[in-house]
Amino acid sequence: MFIIPGARNSLYDIEAVRKATVAAPIWVHFGAGNIFRGFIALLQEKLLNTGQSDRGIIAAETFDTEIIEKIYRPYDNQILLVTLNPDGTTEKTAASPVTEALSAVPGTEDYARLETIFRDAGLQMVSFTITEKGYRGSAMDTLAALLYKRYAGGGAPLALVSMDNCSENGALLRGAVLAAAEKLFDEPGFRAYLTDRVSFPWSMIDKITPGPSEQVRSTLPGPTDWSPIVTEKGTRIAPFVNAEAPQYLVIEDDFPNGRPPLEKAGVYFTDRDTVHKAEQMKVTACLNPLHTALAIFGCLLGKTNIAACMRDADLTALVRRLGYAEGLSAVDHPGIFEPRGFLDEVIEKRLPNPFIPDTPRRIVTDTSQKVPFRFGETIKRYAERADLSVDSLVAVPLTLAGWSRYLLALDDNGEAMELSSDPMLSGLRELLSGVAFGDPSTAKSAAGFFRDVRLFGCDLYAVGLGERCEGYLASMLLGPGAVRQSLKVLGSI
C-alpha cells in the first residue's frame, strides 16, 4: 500500500474490513473506472473512517478488465484521489474501501467468486457506472446470469442501482436486465423474482472526473510509478484519479434488503419523483447540455480544455444562454437543492476550473447517445407547455446545428479534424453526406439529420426548429471563421 505524505489516509483496520467483506458482502459495483474511484468508493470510505460501516465494496469490470489487472491489483486495490480546487490547491486521499477487484468474465476464477457473492443472501446492492452503451451490451447477459444464481440459491431480495449519467437510469437498467433474462432463461419464476424481489432505484449523479493529468502526476512522490496507461480497449487511466470537489448523488430510497447508511456520507435519499426532477435539472438544463455545447464548439474552435472554452466570451455567452435563459425556464424544482444555485456553481466555479484537465474531445464522445436527453427533453417541454415558446430557443438549435457542422470533420479553419468515437458515427456522417463546407446552400441536404427522432427525441421540423437549425448550419458553412461568426448571434439577443 502507498502512504502519501500530507494525504488523508484510511483510519480503519483495512485487513479486518477485507475479511468481514469476504465473509459477508453487502455491495458490488460494476464499472471500475474514474467516477467510481473518485466518488462512489469514497462514500464508503467515509462510513468506514467514522465507524458507520465495517465492510467495503467489491469492484467488478465487464468491459475493460485490463483496468483490474493493471490499476487495481498492482496497487492492492488502493485508490489515490487528488481533488483539484479552483484556486490551484489540491487535496490527496489514499483510500482502501475496495476489498476485491474482479474481472466479470464467465469461466474465470473471478467470475466464480462473483457467483458466490451473488448467492449470498446478505448482499444488499449492486451499483453500476458502465455508461449508456453498457446497458445494450454483453454486461447485461453477465448480470442476468449472476442474478439467476441468486434466484436459484434462494431468491433473496436485492437493489440494482444505476449510477450512470443518463435519464431515468433505473428504468433503463430494469428494461435491459429483463430483456437479457427473457433471452437467456425460459423460466417464468425468474422473471417474477426480478419484478417482485429486485428493485431498480433511479439516481442522479454529478461529479467531473476527467482523465489523468500529467501536471498532477508530476507532483506525486516515488517510488510508486503513477504513469497513466492506455488499455487495448482505449481506456486511458492511471493509478491515481483526479477530480473536482463538488459532487452530488441522489438516489430513490428503494432497497428491499437494506443498504449502507450513505446519507451520512452526503448522499440524498428520496422518492422517485424528486430524483427525476433532480436528474432532469442537471441533465437537461444545468450541466450536461452546457458541457456538450462547449465540447462541440470547443473542438471546432481548437480549444484544448473546457476551462479554455470558458475563457472564450462567445462560448461563455452560449452556455449562459443555454442554462439561464433556456434551461432553467423548463425545469421543475427538485426541492432538495436550488436549481439556480446549482447552475451558478457550474458556470462560475466548476466549468472554468483551470485545474480540471477535461478536453472537448473527451466530452464530445458518444454525443448521439446524449442529445435526446440533454436537448431533446427541453425541446419537447417547450413544444408541449403553454407557458413556453419554441420560438424563444436560440442556443439549443445553434448547438444542434454546431453538432452537424462538427460531424463534417473540419474545424472552423476548414482543416481536417479527428472526430471522437460515437456508436452512430458512420450513419450520422451518411445523413450529412450532401453538406459541403463553403457552400451554405447544401445545408438543406441535412434535413434527414434534423428530422431523425432517434437523435433528438422528436422531428425538429415538426416542432418548429428544423428550419432554424438548417439556417444556423448554413451560416457555419460560409467558409473559414463562419462558426465563430455564427456564435455572434447570441450577442444580438
- Model confidence pLDDT, tens digit, residues 343-393: 999 999 999 999 887 899 999 999 999 999 899 999 999 999 999 999 999
pTM for this one?
A: 0.86
Q: Residue 103 gets which letter from DSSP?
A: E
Terminal C-alpha separation, the chain: 57
Helix axes 169-184, 138-152, angle to 10 degrees: 70
Q: For 149-196, what is the HEC assignment?
A: HHHHCCCCCEEEEECCCCCCHHHHHHHHHHHHHHHHCCCHHHHHHHHH
Other CB atoms within a 10 A radius of the CB of residue 389 amount to 12
Q: Give pLDDT tens digits for 460-472.
A: 999 999 999 999 9
**Contact predicate 57/18, CB 8 Å:** no
Please provide the size of the chain in residues: 493
Q: Give pLDDT tens digits for 44-66.
A: 999 999 999 999 999 999 999 99
What is the residue extent of each domain of the chain? 8-270, 274-492
Q: Give pLDDT tens digits for 68-107.
A: 999 999 999 999 999 999 888 999 999 999 999 999 999 9
d(CA 26, CA 49) in angstroms, rounded, equals 17
The structural architecture, per CATH, of the domain 274-492 is Orthogonal Bundle (1.10)
Among 118-127, 443-452, 484-493, the range scoring the smallest mean pLDDT is 484-493
CATH number for 8-270 (one of 3.30.9.10, 1.10.420.10, 3.40.50.720, 2.60.40.10): it is: 3.40.50.720
Domains 8-270 and 274-492 share a fold: no
Per-residue confidence (pLDDT) for residue 165, from 0 to 100:
85
**% of the chain exceeding 70 in pLDDT:** 99
Per-residue confidence (pLDDT) for residue 357, from 0 to 100:
79
Band of residue 167 on the pLDDT scale cut at 50, 70, 90: confident
Q: Give pLDDT tens digits for 39-49.
A: 999 999 999 99
Per-residue confidence (pLDDT) for residue 363, from 0 to 100:
94
Number of helices (H) and strands (E) in the chain: give both, helices first. Answer: 24, 15
**Contact predicate 237/33, CB 8 Å:** yes
Per-residue confidence (pLDDT) for residue 8, from 0 to 100:
86
Per-residue confidence (pLDDT) for residue 1, from 0 to 100:
64
Place of cell 468515437: 421
pLDDT at 2 over 80: no
Per-residue confidence (pLDDT) for residue 227, from 0 to 100:
95
